Structures are given as structure tokens and as C-alpha cells.
Amino acid sequence: MNAIIFSAVSGVIMMFSGFGLKNSAVRSLALALLSLVIVSAVFELRGIAFFHINTGGMLSFDHFALLFTLIATVSTLVFFLLSARDMEKIGLNYSDYFALIFFVLSGVIISASFQSLLMLFLGIEIMSIPLYILTGSDKRSLKSNEASLKYFLMGSFSTGLMLMGIALIYGAAGTFSTVNIILPEGKVPVLFVTGLLFLLFALSFKVSAAPFHFWTPDVYDGAPTVITSFMATVVKAAGFIAFMRLFSDAFRTIGGEWKLIVAIVVAATLFIGNITAVFQQSVKRMLAYSSISQAGFMMLAVYTLTAEAKEGLLLYGAAYSLATIGIFAVLAKMKDYTFDGFNGFAKQQPLVAATLVIFLLSLAGIPLTAGFLSKFYMLSATVSVGNVWLAVFAVLMAAISVYYYFRLIQAMYFKDGTATLPSVSMGFKVTLVAVAAITVILGVYPNLLLYWLYF
């Protein structure tokens, strides 16, 4: 509860900060408020809650939810440190962008903590509505406006599916609680299974799982690049935390009704995401399709629902968010988003290029990076529940992903060109190096993070 209240209040403060503060002061205030949210989350993870509010069993702040809250808020801090200055390019409403991001964080935390279908709905909507606005925040860009409209329409459609699913499950089980569902013995009601499928499809929309992913490339491409960075990382990881929590609490005992469908969704997501990423000429669109393929791996946690998968999903959320925020932070400063636009980049910016290599290796799942271990956890969990073929297929798809990630490394190091960053501060470089170092450290000592799950 600490982080929800601090984040929501911070959003309100940021809304009014634009009236009397200059952009540099707004930025400093946002960093200070986010630091408070992080400190409050750490206190709650250590058992110190500032607010004792009876949620009536609708929210549960267990270690899984609190640790993800910490991961999401720290990732947002990294996003602010690397990209806050670039948000000035979007438009004049600088403080409002920070306010909306704080409101998104409130939705993220609710989505990680719900124990009621009503709170799941509220969390997803509080998370989504500010994102529709942020996607269209560059009002001068027709592409941004189109992406916002498309995102809003697709999001509204998935919201309809979610509401229908919640209504059907309430009709079958007589409760909105995800932990107190009692079904008749012997046979699962058709009404309940139908509601489950509606929720599965609605959440698949939110996390860009195939075949519900079609909005993702256009929205990611049309949104301002700095907003895409936040949307494709913290928000996507939160969607998977909510996905896994729902299926673990409410549907674990009836796995026979949905396991096969989720396995098909996982395979389709991995295949479509990786194959289409191979043919992209824009790095931004490649990362959009790459995010779909990464969603396939994270979906394995929903399929298996084991303790190992739960650990893997938290590690995946941290590894994927840090690496992708790092790459997008550099991309947002580039003028040319094509692969050719990175030709010769390593000669001009050797330190930044080296950090990009670490991020790309992590996304590809190369050993000694956090991305490798998070993929390993997912594959190990899949094998442990007896589905070896799905694990083998995921490994083959990961091998394909190496091609398009290494294509960017090839452009930076082995092709001639004059690609460079127009203006990069020393603080930006230091932050990138720190994030790259964390990516490597978590790849060697994952328990530095996972230890907090059981502390």
C-alpha cells in the first residue's frame, strides 16, 4: 500500500508542478518523488507499512507483489535518469508526462497485488488509460495520433472481453475473489471456462501475445520513442505479473481446461515475434517484434505456474526492462532508426556501443547476462512440468533471435559509417554503464534479486 499511495500522490503533485516550475526543476522533483516511492516500497518489503488500510482481501501485498513493485519502480528510475531530458522533445506539457507515468505506476502496483477480479480490472485500466494519452502525446505527429487511436480502440476491445470474462466467472462461481473460488466437484461449469477464456484473450491483448499482438508494432512505432521505452518494459512486465497471479490463484486447479490453449499461444507468439523481427529494417520496429518474442518466453511462466517460473518471471522482468530501456534511451537520441543508421557507431561512441552490446546479448539470452538466466529459468520450469517439446521450440526461436540482435552489433562494429549521438552527457554514459553492469551482475548472481522474494 505504501507504493500505491506515494505513487498516486506523486502523480497529483506532478500535475500541478508545471504551473510554477521550469523543466529542470520538474525533472528533479519527479526524480525525488520516485525515490520516495522506491524507499517506501523497500520499507514495505522489509515489513514496515506506513498505511494500515483494510482492503477487505481485495489486495495482497505479499513478497511476490512487493518485489515486482520494487523492480518496476527502480526500472522507472532508470528510465527517468536516461530519458527524462528527451521527454522535453515530445511537447509542451512536460510535467503532465511525469504525472501520467506515476499514475501508470499506481496501476502497475495494483495489477501485481490484486486478489479480486474487480481490482484486476481497475489495475489494468489505471495502467492503460494514461498510456493511451502518452502514446498520442506528440500532437504534431500524425503517426503518434494514429497510434494512440489504434491503441485506444484495441485496448477498449480487450477491456470489453475482460469485463465479459469477469461477469461470466462471477455468474459461475458467485465471487470476484481469485483465491476463494469453489467449483462443483467433478466438472467445471461451461460458464466458468468461457469466462476464463475471455480473460485469457483479454490479457493476451495487453501483453502482446499472438494472435492478439497485431496492434503492437504500429503503436510502438508511432508512439514517441521515449514513451515506447516505458510502455514496452515496465508495463509489459506488469501485464505478465497480473497474468501469472490470476492463473496461479484462480485457475491452477483446472489446468486441463486451458494448458493446451496457452501452449499454442506461447508457440505462436515465439514464432511470429521472431520470424517477423528478422525482416525489419527499422531498429525500433525490430524491438517491437522482439518484445513480442520476449512475451512468448514470459508466457511460459503462465503455462507452468511453478515456483521456479515465478522466480524466473521476476528476473525476466528486471533483465528485459533494464536492457530494453538502455537500448531505447540511445535510440531516442538517434535521428536515423534504421540498421544502417548505426553503421560505424562503435568508432564514434565506443563506450555507449559496448553497453548496447551487453543489452543486446542479454535480450538474445547469451550466458553471463541476466537475460540468459531468466530464459533458463523459464525453460527449466517448462521441462519440469513435462513439456519438453515446447522448451525445445523456445530454444530454436531464441537461436533465431540471435540473428537480428547481432545484426545491430554488426552494423555498429563491422560496417563503415558516421553514426553518432548528437549530445550525450557524462551522466548519461555513467548510468548506461551502471545498468549494463547490473545486467551482468544479475546474470552471475541472480540471488541478489531473488533473495528478496523469501527474505
- pLDDT (tens digit, 9 = 90+) per residue, 77-118? 999 999 888 888 888 888 899 999 999 999 999 999 999 999
* R_g of the chain, CA atoms, integer Å: 21
Q: Three-state SS for 52?
A: coil
448: CB partners within 8 A, 6+ apart = 441, 442
**Residue 387 scores a pLDDT above 90:** no
Q: Among 313, 197, 186, which Cα is nearest to 253's? A: 186
Distance CA 439, CA 367 (A): 11
How far apart, in Å, are the Cα atoms of 10 and each of 4, 100, 194, 393? 10, 10, 40, 44
The pLDDT score that the predictor gives to residue 441 is 93
Residue 210 has pLDDT above 90, yes or no: no
Residue 247 neighbours by CB under 8 Å, 6+ apart: 258, 302, 305
Place of cell 513439456: 387
Residues 245 and 226: their CA atoms lie apart, in Å, by 29
The number of CA neighbours under 13 Å toward the Cβ of 455 is 15
Q: Which three cell numbers stand for residue 237?
A: 512486465
pLDDT band at 372, cuts 50/70/90? Answer: very high
What totals of helices (H) and strands (E) does the chain contain, helices first?
A: 19, 0
- Could you tell me the pLDDT band of residue 220, with boundaries at 50, 70 and 90? confident
Q: Which residues of 413-422 are buried (b: 16+ CB within 10 A; e: fewer)?
A: beeebebeee
Q: What pTM did the predictor assign?
A: 0.92
